[in-house]
Every structure is written in structure tokens, then in C-alpha cells.
């Protein structure tokens, strides 16, 4: 297909070597904070999560035939059950649950292979897709705001100042710089924001000083590190949540469809995207990492920089694997303070939400029609407000509830309300 004029590098275009390094590092820095935070919360080894995210991304790219510029990182959806399992079964139970999650993805991908994906266009029209994409971006707004303001449970004005300066520097790099610097505004924002954080005295270098140059991640491999046995409780507590992350996965594919002007549900096909995500989680489980999923942070980078190259994503994955073995580099990246990540996230998450608005504008959605107003309103408030559904030990995020409800309303509601038909008569 012809290259879009507003895109710097299209999906299948390869950057120059010097650009390649900077663009890939930009993606790695963007996902790093969240990817290592998940294992830290659970009690897993962050190095394993970094390794499995990189390898998982490479596997995903291979299965999707290098057509989708998506990065796989640690999923937050499984934090609660993994924390519970860490207290009871430890690594083995979490590993089995993670592998089970991947198997659910593979089973659904086989179903899609047999029955096709034509149904997607019917259940996911722009009036559903647009608001869901907005929710994906804005539902993360609270996380960005917390990163930018809260220090050990208390408001910190220094944090807010660093976050705002980081954000404004990133905007400046994006708007006023040309050439290579104009292509890496996120990376430059993080680097300069980090420098500002050092001046504000909120960076702790002690972990870097104490870290070894070479540090092998503490892999937890069955038969090598432990004797596996079936933990049905672990499998049953984590496997159903795969349907929740599957909804988020499809939402991310929607955003990528809009950004790249492609239809990844058809080419390479939803079966390939699900199989890639599922296989990545299975690999993570076999080395002791958490389940992985596509990352909104990296999609935000694509939207801001207009660099959609899968080669850049490949480079980010290789850097993640490399850094997982370099103790001091991993420790240095872990010292990036939360307000720097928060300042960057204001732009990343906002850009995703703006992509959802673009979907509705491009399709000329008429909000004078009650049907459209009802569907969008329900999705936006339930999703952004995170009106989650909890059934026993299972919890479905507000995004998942909003997406399912939006799909149901779109299928059930008539094209015109009774009052609209009456006015026409």
C-alpha cells in the first residue's frame, strides 16, 4: 500500500542505524516502568519480566508476520490473583496460571481460524470502537496523575513540578525540533526529565552502585528450578481473566488499525494476533514471568512520533532482553522516578484517547441520534470511571464491562428511537 504522507516511517520501513537505536530505546523506556512494576508488586523478579517482555514481543512479531507494531509487556490485570498465589504456591502456581492464560488465547485463536472474523465489523462499528479507544487512554489518566503527584502516599510538589517540566520538554521536542531529535521526543523528554529529577533530589543512585554489571535473571524453569505439579486453583483463578485482557488486546488492535490505516483483524488476522499474544504469555510462564499483553504506552509513542516501523519495535525487544542481563543498566532504568513517567504518560495516554475521537470524527458519527448518544455515553462513563464487575474472586475491569456493554447496545438498539420516528412522521 502507498505510504501515508503524515507518517515518518511506515510499518514495513527500516530506519537508519543511528535512528534505529534511539527510536528503539524510546519504546523500551516507555514500557519499562510498567513492565517491571508488575513483578515488583507481585514479588517476581523484574529481570525475568523484562526478558520475557522482549522475547514475547519477538515471538508476537514472528507470529503476526511482522505486520503489527505492538509491544508485549507485563499485564496489570493479573496482579491480584498473582499476589494471592505468591503467598500460597509461589512461582510454580503463578507459572501454571500464566501458561493457562496463554492457552486460552490459543484456543480462541483456533476458533477464529475456523469461523473467521467477519463478525468483528458488525460488533465493532466506529460508534463502539471510538469510545472504547477513548476509554483505553483516559482510564489510565489516574495512574499518570498519581505518578506525577504522589510520593509514598503523600502529595509532593516536587513530583508535580518534575512531571510538568518533563511533559513540556517533550512537547517542545515534538513541536520545535527537526531531524532525528524531532523523531525521539519521548526519549528526550525522559532523559531531560531525569536530569531535572536529579536536580530536585528525587533520584536514588544506591541501587545502581550496588548492582553488578552482569546479572543473570533468576529464571524459574520447570524441572530445573522446581518440580512441577498441577495447581488447579492457580489455573482457575487466572485463566478466566484472559477474556478480560483479550478485550483490551482487541481494543489496542483497533487503535493500531486507526493509526496505521490498516485492518489487522483481517491481515494478518485476529487469529494471528491472539496466537501471538498467547504464545508470548506461555513463554513468560515457562521462565517465571507474568502474563504479557500489548502496551498502550508504546501505542502512544507510535501516535506521537508517527514512526510505525516494526523494526523499531524489534529493536526495543532486543534491548529489553539485553538489559535484563546487564545489572547496572537495569538498575539505572529502574531509578527513573515516577513523576518523569507520569509527565510522559500525560501525553501518551492522551494521544490514545485523541485517536478514539478521530475515529468518530472520521466516520462522521451523528450525536444528534439518540442511539449513538446512548452507546457512547455508557461506554465512556463506565469505562473511565472503572465501574468494574466482581463475581467472587473474578474481577472484570471497567474497560471490559464498557466494551461488552457497548457491543450489546449496538446489537440491540434500533437505528432510530421511537421519538425520532414520530418526529419524522
Residue 4: its pLDDT value, please? 57
Query: Residue 1 pLDDT > 60, yes or no?
Result: no
Residues 330-356 have a mean pLDDT of 82
Confidence of residue 169 (pLDDT cuts 50, 70, 90): very high
Confidence of residue 394 (pLDDT cuts 50, 70, 90): low
Residue 26: its pLDDT value, please? 86
Per-residue pLDDT tens over the stretch 286-300: 998 899 988 877 888
Do the Cβ atoms of 176 and 15 come closer than 8 Å?
Answer: no
Do the Cβ atoms of 314 and 61 come closer than 8 Å?
Answer: yes
Confidence of residue 58 (pLDDT cuts 50, 70, 90): very high
Query: Residue 210 pLDDT > 60, yes or no?
Result: yes
Q: Report the percentage of the chain scoring pLDDT > 70.
A: 92
Per-residue pLDDT tens over the stretch 365-377: 999 899 999 999 9
Do the Cβ atoms of 9 and 307 come closer than 8 Å?
Answer: yes
Do the Cβ atoms of 302 and 7 come closer than 8 Å?
Answer: no
Residues 16-37 have a mean pLDDT of 83
Residues 342-355 have a mean pLDDT of 83
What span, in angstroms and rounded, lies between the C-alpha atoms of 163 and 109? 41
Residue 246 DSSP symbol: H
**Rounded to the nearest 5°, which phi and psi values hold at 397?**
-65, 160
Do the Cβ atoms of 50 and 323 come closer than 8 Å?
Answer: yes
What span, in angstroms and rounded, lies between the C-alpha atoms of 210 and 334? 13
Nearest to residue 93, comparing CAs of 229, 198, 250?
229
Query: Residue 18 pLDDT > 90, yes or no?
Result: no
Do the Cβ atoms of 52 and 283 come closer than 8 Å?
Answer: yes
Handedness of CA 215, 332, 305, 159 (dihedral sign): positive
What span, in angstroms and rounded, lies between the C-alpha atoms of 124 and 406? 9
By CB neighbour count within 10 A (0-12 exposed, 13-18 middle, 19+ buried), where does 296 fall?
buried
Residue 65: its pLDDT value, please? 94
In terms of average pLDDT, the best of 199-213, 276-290, 397-411 is: 276-290
Do the Cβ atoms of 135 and 380 come closer than 8 Å?
Answer: yes
Residue 45: its pLDDT value, please? 80
**Rounded to the nearest 5°, which phi and psi values hold at 352?**
-60, -45
Element housing 391 (H / E):
strand 389-391
Nearest to residue 350, comparing CAs of 384, 307, 310?
384
Residue 3: its pLDDT value, please? 56
Residue 66: its pLDDT value, please? 94
Residue 403: its pLDDT value, please? 80
Residues 407-416 have a mean pLDDT of 89
Amino acid at each position: 500500500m502507498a505510504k501515508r504522507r503524515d507518517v515518518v516511517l511506515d510499518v514495513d520501513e527500516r530506519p537508519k542505524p543511528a535512528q534505529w537505536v534511539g527510536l528503539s530505546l524510546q519504546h523500551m523506556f516507555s514500557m519499562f516502568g510498567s513492565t517491571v512494576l508488575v513483578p515488583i508488586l507481585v514479588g517476581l523478579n523484574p529481570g525475568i519480566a523484562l526478558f520475557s517482555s522482549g522475547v514475547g514481543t519477538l515471538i508476537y512479531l514472528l507470529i503476526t508476520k511482522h505486520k503489527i507494531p505492538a509491544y508485549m509487556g507485563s499485564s496489570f490485570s493479573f496482579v491480584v490473583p498473582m499476589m494471592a498465589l505468591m503467598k500460597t504456591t509461589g512461582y510454580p502456581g503463578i507459572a501454571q496460571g500464566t501458561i493457562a492464560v496463554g492457552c486460552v488465547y490459543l484456543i480462541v485463536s483456533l476458533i477464529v481460524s475456523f469461523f473467521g472474523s467477519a463478525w468483528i465489523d458488525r460488533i465493532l462499528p466506529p460508534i463502539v470502537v471510538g469510545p472504547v479507544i477513548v476509554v483505553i487512554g483516559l482510564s489510565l489518566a489516574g495512574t499518570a496523575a498519581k505518578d506525577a503527584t504522589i510520593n509514598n502516599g503523600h502529595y509532593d510538589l516536587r513530583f508535580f513540578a518534575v512531571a510538568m517540566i518533563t511533559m513540556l520538554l517533550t512537547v517542545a521536542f515534538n513541536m520545535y525540533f527537526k531531524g532525528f531529535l524531532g523523531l525521539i521526543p519521548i526519549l528526550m523528554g525522559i532523559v531531560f526529565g531525569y536530569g531535572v529529577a536529579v536536580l530536585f533530589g528525587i533520584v536514588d543512585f544506591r541501587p545502581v552502585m550496588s548492582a553488578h554489571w552482569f546479572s543473570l535473571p533468576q529464571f524459574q524453569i520447570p524441572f530445573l528450578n522446581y518440580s512441577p505439579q498441577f495447581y488447579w486453583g492457580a489455573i482457575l483463578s487466572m485463566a478466566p481473566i484472559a477474556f478480560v485482557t483479550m478485550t483490551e488486546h482487541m481494543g489496542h488492535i483497533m487503535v493500531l488499525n486507526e493509526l496505521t490505516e490498516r485492518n489487522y483483524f483481517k491481515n494478518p488476522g485476529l487469529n494471528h494476533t491472539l496466537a501471538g499474544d498467547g504464545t508470548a504469555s506461555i513463554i513468560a510462564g515457562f521462565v517465571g514471568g507474568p502474563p504479557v499483553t500489548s502496551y498502550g504506552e508504546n501505542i502512544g509513542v507510535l501516535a506521537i512520533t508517527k514512526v510505525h516501523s516494526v523494526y523499531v519495535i524489534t529493536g526495543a525487544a532486543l534491548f529489553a532482553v539485553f538489559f535484563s542481563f546487564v545489572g547496572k543498566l537495569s538498575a539505572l532504568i529502574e531509578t527513573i522516578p515516577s513523576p518523569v513517567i507520569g509527565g510522559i504518560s500525560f501525553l501518551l495516554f492522551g494521544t490514545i484517547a485523541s485517536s478514539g475521537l478521530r475515529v468518530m470524527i472520521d466516520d462522521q458519527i451523528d450525536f444528534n441520534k439518540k442511539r449513538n448518544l446512548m452507546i457512547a455515553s455508557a461506554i465512556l462513563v463506565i469505562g473511565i470511571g472503572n465501574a468494574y464487575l466482581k463475581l467472587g474472586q473474578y474481577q472484570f475491569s471497567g474497560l471490559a464491562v464498557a466494551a461488552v456493554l457497548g457491543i450489546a447496545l449496538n446489537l440491540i438498539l434500533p437505528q432510530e428511537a421511537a421519538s425520532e420516528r414520530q418526529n419524522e412522521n
